[in-house]
Amino acid sequence: MKNSIIICVIFYFQSLNAQKIFGKIVNEQKASLTGVNVYFDGTTIGTITDFNGNFSLNYGSKLNAVLVVSSVGFQTEFITDKSNKTELYIVLYPVAQILKEVIVSRDGFSRQEKIKLFREQFLGTTTFGKKATIENEDDIYFEYNKKSNTLTAFSEKPLIINNNALGYTINYELLNFITHFYKLSIRSSDVKKSYYAGVSRFEETDNSSKTLKRRVNSYQGSQLQFFRTLAGNLWNKDNFLLFKGSFQANPKDFFTITDTLDLKKITVAKQIKGLDKMKFVAEFTLLYKKADQSRIIFETTNFYIDQFGNNSNSENILFSGKIIEQKVGDMLPLNYGIN
């Protein structure tokens, strides 16, 4: 499947009943750590620790995002099991200082070419994607495997992304980035599949009326809107429509939605004919506002969606077409539009 992309968001199934969580963060010697980032992945809900290493966060009772604790020089902690806890005591451990080996690459591609490919596959080539910038591109390093025709990107520090068009600065910890090519190439036109994963914190920098309108434009037809459409059964001609082959399909014939705590469990009906050899569960065409066409393939029979539109099993839900043009440069926080 050409030019497909998988975007992975860390997701867990723990229902949170409290609306406030607080705690203290220390190092191995039990000394308080100041200025540590504490945030819910993919949202604007975050803070930093004070001089005594203390923090507190208010959040909605149905938030199902991972709590990320991050500070330069320390291993990032991902807190998923907070059941019945409103107070946390977190110890951060230092990152082992390993001198990176400098390898003279003989793949024939320059760093400039790799950065260009990274921007296209990570930030995107839409209007907003092209305007977004990464402050610390020098912290990104690459490895190209000529045997598998894959480009991998790494960063030991969070990427600082300035998205002035949408009014956000994004602190993005890149956990994984790999692009597969059909042949020995560094061009986006030869991309077979691209995958990136990470955790992100959004900080609002502008909420003018023009910026808010641009956010609406970015949301329309996005994957975030699609998963909210699916979970809420909000299909209509001014939103997403589902097609099987050339014919419009009734989503109720293919998706069973079950309430599970604060999540929606989605069960996908397996389509046997024509897909068994490819190990797909189901595939559909999506049409947004009768214009933008995309394709979606499910490699899982079950996944979950929370009230924000955050979904599990991202690696098993593949998109292609119009909807994958939006990448990090068009990304909105998961709590966008949610009171």
The pTM assigned to this predicted structure is 0.79
What's the number of domains the chain is made of? 3
- The residue out of 204, 219, 249 marking a domain boundary is 204
Q: Are the beta carbons of 293 and 311 closer than 8 angstroms?
A: no
Mean pLDDT value across residues 6-28: 63
How does residue 132 score in pLDDT terms, banded at 50, 70 and 90?
very high
Question: Does residue 13 fall inside a structural domain?
Answer: no
Q: Where are the alpha helices (DSSP H) in the chain?
A: 111-118, 127-131, 209-219, 223-232
Mean pLDDT value across residues 95-111: 65
Question: Does residue 211 fall inside a structural domain?
Answer: no
Q: Do 121 and 199 reside in the same domain of the chain?
A: yes
Question: Does residue 69 fall inside a structural domain?
Answer: yes
Provide the mean pLDDT of the chain. Answer: 85
Q: Do 82 and 115 reside in the same domain of the chain?
A: no
C-alpha Rg value of the chain to the nearest Å: 21
Mean pLDDT value across residues 245-262: 90
Question: Does residue 324 fall inside a structural domain?
Answer: yes
Q: Are the beta carbons of 103 and 188 closer than 8 angstroms?
A: no
CATH number of the domain to which 43 belongs: 2.60.40.1120
Q: Which residue segment(s) compose the domain that 165 sits in? A: 111-204
- The residue out of 42, 63, 91 marking a domain boundary is 91
Per residue, the 3-state secondary structure of 132-143, as one string, reads CEECCHHHEEEE
- Quick: pLDDT tens for 215-243: 999 999 999 999 999 999 999 999 999 99
Q: Are the beta carbons of 307 and 289 closer than 8 angstroms?
A: no
